[in-house]
Structure 1
Amino acid sequence: MHPCADVWREARVDVAFKEEPEDAAGRRAGSRLERRFTVARQLQGAYRYNDQWASVLEYESGPVRGGVSFSLTVPDVLADLKGRTVTWASHREPAGCMSSDGEEPALLAGDTLRDEQGRLLLLNVPSGPTTAAGEVLLPPGLVPELRVQWEEAGCAAEQGARTRGVRLRFEATRSRNGTSIPAVVRLGEAMPLTLDGLRYEVRVARARAGVSGRCGQAVFTLWREGLREQRPAR
């Protein structure tokens, strides 16, 4: 895929949450929603819609039943997490800059899935605003072990466009041996990255810097090594 393209569709991940009974406890409080649970049942490759199908982590706690769904491009699924305790957190809020796609503030959004020790399993950022200073904004406190910036990729803005293609630079904010090797990732690439001694794969679905004072947008996912598998399409 050309690094100046707009979207790498196959790299996108959509996240959804449902809990029953629906009451105040199940609603988003402010910008953050979080659940810690043991995976009672896992669906892999369910609820197919076009080129995506869902990997669903289901749980029960007394009368409450819930599930977190990760829609991946066929044939990708989440590896088996049944019986494991995980923490899922979701963050959504308007950023302090205007979106390049309209006349509203840019969306700042991210989802994390962590293991029983609190170590990152998955980070999905469906909207990380890119600023003129070279930053990629991440939800505050959601993933303190990671810093993301953007760099020029030789992509010019087309006439009338509000964004241009860039590449993303991922770097650990802390390291066990005092050094950190960044991963510089273009659209359409999957690159390795080490955080806290654990190996991940980074996939960038969108990387755009804004022009004329607008925020651009970064869309990407970090996968713990071995978390993403493939299943035969049914």
Structure 2
Amino acid sequence: MSDREPRTLGERTLSSVTRARTPTRGSTRGGRGRAQAEASASGVAPPPVPPVDAGVAAPGDPRFEGIMQLQPPKFTGTGDPEAATRWIEGLEKAFELLKCSEEEKVTLAVYQMQEVASTWWKATRREVFPEGVVPEWNVFVRAFNNKYFSSCAKQLKMAEFLHLRQGPMTVDQYEAKFAELSQYAPRLIQDPEEKAMRFIDGLRPELKDPLVPFDIKNYNELYGRAR
């Protein structure tokens, strides 16, 4: 066994997860023995141990220690469709840091669901992951997006991107909105020149007109000059 102490948050979390998942033989036998002795003394049979359900998270599970320290976002199932996208992206950042397995990703995501979203998952999880099927993150995300980010919502975001104009926004604010909405229309910005053209077309005239003669085809350069 290595003497190296875990240094990163992910390593410490994984170390605690491993220890939590591997109870010692003596502690297991001792726990069962005490439970049986107490049950015999009281004359009441001990309650059955509930099966582990990968779709339902339990507070106090050591697997949540690391991700709770990162304060991941919660999701209620209401509001702008963008909230669903931001929630998934926020969780995936935490998962990458903690080196979570596919099953742990699903479990931790479900733990962060509240209100309407939690109710939806309780009613849906057996359809998404039938009994005996190991949860996979991509499968969960697909089911989640089908519920909370419909094709109609995607079309609306694409239309918003196509009609985006700087207006009263600063250049930095406009660029941030451009980047945010462009993810819903990836085919429209695949060509770097077309991406630059769409960006400059949305600038206010007093910023756009002096830049047009330069015929700048690099997006980053165009953004820098517009600032």
Classify the TM-score, shorter chain.
Answer: under 0.3
TM-score by length of 2: 0.22
More strand as a share of residues: 1
TM-score by length of 1: 0.22
The structure showing larger relative contact order (alpha-carbon pairs under 8 Å, at least 6 residues apart) is: 1
More helix as a share of residues: 2
Which of structures 1 and 2 has the bigger CA Rg? 2
